[in-house]
Chain A
Amino acid sequence: MSTGTPIAETAGIAAPTGSPGLIQEPGTVTAFWRRLRARPSAIAGLVIVGLLILMAVFAPWIAPYDPTATDWGNVRGSPSLAHPFGGDEVGRDVLSRIIFGARASLGAGLVSVALAVSLGLPLGLLAGYAGGWIDGAISRLTDALLAIPFLILAIALAAFLGPSLVNAMIAIGLSATSTFIRLTRAQVRAVAAEEFVEAARAMGNPPWRIAFVHILPNIVPAILVQATLTIAAAIIAEASLSFLGLGQQPPEPSWGAMLNTAKNFMDQAPWMAIWPGLSIFLAVLAFNLFGDGLRDALDPRQRA
């Protein structure tokens, strides 16, 4: 997913019909863990994600050099014992920049998706549960946002907001919001039609209580899966924006921006292009693996 379209349909998540109380049922969480553990690829994804997060958090302690310190003796330096990943066009240590670059990538992935969920979830809940003109208005807005391809919208937003990592996160988060509105709405409508919700309504529960106590917990799994897969898309999107010069600004390290520079030195210093690309690939792969495993483990259709 080189441009990272976080379109819900791609994720293929089943509406949680037929499985009321997916979370509330006793033992489902344990059962879920058992199913997740049975998928080695999902566990591999989870482990890589964990390692990358540790790398980002402890970057100052792990990185051998200051990621922004230039060293004229190491300009486009070939990989060596001192600089295992080589040096870049102004002699910065590529390994250290890769380690620090994880902060921009993972940070952008997590922050933008958190933004998209915190906007999309309430709006989708409102649209799906309130119905009527509110649903109509929110749905039309979602359609219109989805009509603008994800990265194009993010680029346009980043262009108008001005280039910076924070603005890139906002742009990606806003662009991904429509996916979560649509998914939440569809899930809410599926769950709201279930008998246990009818029962809760018949017992005189107020709408807000039904929405938060009875519906929300049941749509969490699908949102979680989509969020994980969207983090993968957002990491690529951040790398894309940084590659275009609309994300992290130099000299701060970002994998996408490193690739942008590397493009100009391909014939002389190919390592400048190999490592950042590999890092993006690995991070995205890890989230995709974990997201796919999560979906399979949560998918009610796969249960015997």
Chain B
Amino acid sequence: MLRFLARRLALAVPTLILASMIIFALQQLLPGDVATALTGEERDPQVIAFIRAKYHLDQPLPVRYAYWAGGVLRGDLGESIRLQKPVSKLIVEKLPVTLELACLAMLVALAIGVPMGVLSAVKRGQAADTVANGIALWGLSVPNFWLGILLILLFSVELGWLPASGYVSPFESLSENLAAMVMPAFVLGNAIAAVMMRHTRAAMLGVLGSDYVRTARAKGVSPLRVTLRHALPNAAIPIITLGALEFGQLLSGAVLTEQVFSVPGFGKLMVDAVFNRDFATVQGVVICTAATYIALNLAADLLAAAVNPKLRRA
């Protein structure tokens, strides 16, 4: 188990370093002089000179990367030019909001996707399977920002049941926090639910066709118990590892969902930074997203290992 963890970690670190290089290299895409671009509309030569010195812009790219990466390792992601705040501070402020949204959305996705996938595998080829597959296809195809708009139209504009936008900290009022998060979490979880359903269905079909499920049935075990006790735990490993890949989609989707519902999270920070040409913040958010994504995948690997008896004892 420890060796497994170490191996995973050893794979994740170089990936993250390479990803950070790519993110850093994005700067080179900026049209014209980097310093001018970084300062946005600022044309004061003094400011530009300051930026040039601060970001070591007269140095070659690898050296600049080394300075930047050194900063990142110390938790210094640079300064937001627009907001006059350290990027790391902005991220620490916004990250919990997005994490709450992502966790709730994952909960929605699991609560919808896994039972639907199990049902559709057990009832393979029957009406329930067709319906579940249809719902999944719908979930995969509907753009989540549009779904968000439609839900706002229905529940906020027409019915007035839920707030259309805004965010309340759960420490202020949990009920208001949840009321504000219900729609965003559903919208964000919806697409993942469809993917989860497909993964669950595929994994369950594999397991339900296995010899040990036949053994269980030959022992006289009831279909419900065969499904829940014999099949589902063995399908859990692929569901967890494949599901973890969807964290990326969760983080991507959060950008749009936060935009639609004006949730002040990570994604909103990024989009605002893009429009303010606040590139240090964009880079900071992207590197943190990549790190979060890698960490979540690592966590999922550990969870998968924990439910796998072959690894648990090793």
Contact = CB atoms under 8 A, between A and B. Distances in A.
B36 interface: no
A9 B286 contact: no
Contact of A149 (B15, B22, B23, B248): B248
Interface stretch (A22-30, A58-66, A210-218, A283-291): A283-291
Contacts of B145: 2, 239-240, 243, 259
B15 A147 contact: yes
A1 B194 CA distance: 8
A147 B294 CA distance: 6
B150 interface: yes
Interface residues of A, number: 55
B270 A152 contact: yes
Contacts of B259: 243-244
B125 interface: no
A270 interface: yes
Contacts of B188: 2
Contacts of A236: 143
A277 interface: yes
Contacts of A244: 255-256, 259, 271, 274
Contacts of B249: 1, 3, 5, 7, 149-150
Contacts of A145: 19, 22
A160 B140 contact: no
A76 B213 CA distance: 60
The B contact surface, by secondary structure, is helix
Contact of A281 (B19, B143, B274): B143
Given A240-B256, A263-B260, A155 B271 contact: yes
A262 B191 CA distance: 22
A115 to B, nearest CB: 15
B246 interface: yes
Nearest to B25: A160
B1 interface: no
Interface of A: 1-5, 7, 9-10, 12, 140-141, 143-153, 155-162, 232, 236, 239-240, 243-246, 259, 262-263, 266-267, 270, 273-274, 276-277, 280-281, 284-285, 288-289, 292
Given A149-B251, A284-B140, A285-B138, 18 more contacts: A1-B191, A2-B147, A2-B191, A3-B144, A143-B18, A144-B18, A152-B252, A152-B285, A155-B270, A156-B26, A157-B29, A160-B279, A161-B29, A244-B255, A244-B256, A244-B271, A273-B149, A280-B143
